Amino acid sequence: MLKIGIISFAHMHAVSYAHALQKSKSAALVSIWDEEEKRGLEMAEEYDTNYFHDLDDFLASDIDAVIVCSENACHKEHVIKSASYKKHILCEKPIATEVEDAIDMIKACEQNEVLLQVAFPVRFAPAIQEVKELMSKGEIGEVLAVNTTNHGQMPGGWFINRELSGGGCATDHIVHLVDVLRWMFDEEVTSVYAEFDTRFYDIDVEDCGHVLLEFESGMVVTIDPSWSRPKTFPTWGDVTLEFFGEKGVLEVDAFKQHSLFYNDHDNRLEHKVWSDDMDEGLIQDFIQCVQENRSPFISGYDGLKTLEVVKAAYLSNEKKSPTSLSS
């Protein structure tokens, strides 16, 4: 049985990952460290596991791997320290807030011979995997353009603190879609044009915008990463892609398979997704990577390349002109 610890519940995905570990027959959540002691103790009680007050004591224990769900700006510190203790690592996205930090993290894991996987669970959505297969078969011919969205509700907290998050909705959402498209088409982004703004909320980071990408093949992609879903929206947001090919058009909504729940207790409507849980797929893949000592399905390099696109988008927004990327 693989022993896994979680570093911080700052990111809400930590809860989903903990649930996935509880369901696993080949791994267990055995410990938690969190800089916020109250939150850490509450989560340890919730998942019937151990809470460590000291990060070094946590990493010196007999855990085999860690899941890093701390604030984005803390990923570098926590990944490099975990690697120094020879722990395999699943790091929440984005891999880091700066490209140089991501490079340092990848090097540290290579030097310590530990696995570094980045959390891009959208790859594990059944609908997305089916689209990947259709694209590999050329079902709609050469893809000329893709319109995509990753809308969400404004998360608040440290997500809107630039020092901790690295940015707003652009940091939060662009990476998911860039990762999926890099994986589907096995090519890199060559050019980025982006415009961002803050229009929905009185916050210090962007909450809306639009991104235009060009890939190596000439394929053009648009991304709307906005935090534009209201508090009353029945789910946190969406992931949609519309592919325009020489032979046809294909549309996919990663969360379309859901039931509508009339929740009188909380006085709201909710979408309850009933397809395979993409977070569970991510966790199971990470467990298998560690057990089989195989290369991660989503590597640190994948995380680095998506971060490069995000940073290029911010630069484009600042100078109001396209930014070129080397492949």
pLDDT tens digits for range 144-173: 999 999 999 999 999 999 999 999 999 999
**Which helix (H) or strand (E) covers residue 310, if one does?**
helix 300-319
Please provide the size of the chain in residues: 327
Are 57 and 31 contacting, i.e. CB atoms less than 8 angstroms apart?
Answer: no
Do strands 143-149 and 258-263 pair parallel, antiparallel, or not at all (unpaired)? unpaired
> CA–CA distance from 127 to each of 69, 84, 130, 176, 257 (Å)?
26, 38, 5, 15, 9
pLDDT at 269 over 80: no
Q: For the segment 43-93, what is each residue's pLDDT rounded down to a tens digit?
A: 999 999 999 999 999 999 999 999 999 999 999 999 999 999 999 999 999
Spatial separation of the C-alpha atoms in residues 228 and 158, rounded to whole Å = 18
Q: Where in the chain is the domain with CATH 3.30.360.10?
A: 123-278+307-324
pLDDT of residue 274: 45
Strands (E), 120-257: 143-149, 189-197, 208-215, 220-224, 240-245, 249-253
pLDDT of residue 273: 61
Spatial separation of the C-alpha atoms in residues 284 and 278, rounded to whole Å = 10
CB atoms within 10 A of CB 90: 27
Residues 6+ apart with CB under 8 A from 298: 117, 118, 119, 120, 123, 179
- pLDDT-derived band at 182 (thresholds 50, 70, 90) equals very high
pLDDT of residue 237: 76
pLDDT of residue 236: 73
3-state secondary structure of 5: strand
CA-wise closest residue to 33 among 18, 44, 21: 44
pLDDT at 206 over 80: yes
In eight-state DSSP terms, residue 58 is H
- Kindly state the average pLDDT of the residues 306-312: 98
Do strands 323-324 and 268-273 pair parallel, antiparallel, or not at all (unpaired)? unpaired
CB atoms within 10 A of CB 307: 26
pLDDT of residue 256: 61
Q: Where in the chain is the domain with CATH 3.40.50.720?
A: 2-114
Domain 123-278+307-324 carries which CATH code?
A: 3.30.360.10
Q: Which of 14-18, 105-109, 137-141, 270-274 has the lowest mean pLDDT?
A: 270-274
CA-wise closest residue to 205 among 176, 169, 252, 230: 169
CATH topology of domain 2-114: Rossmann fold (3.40.50)
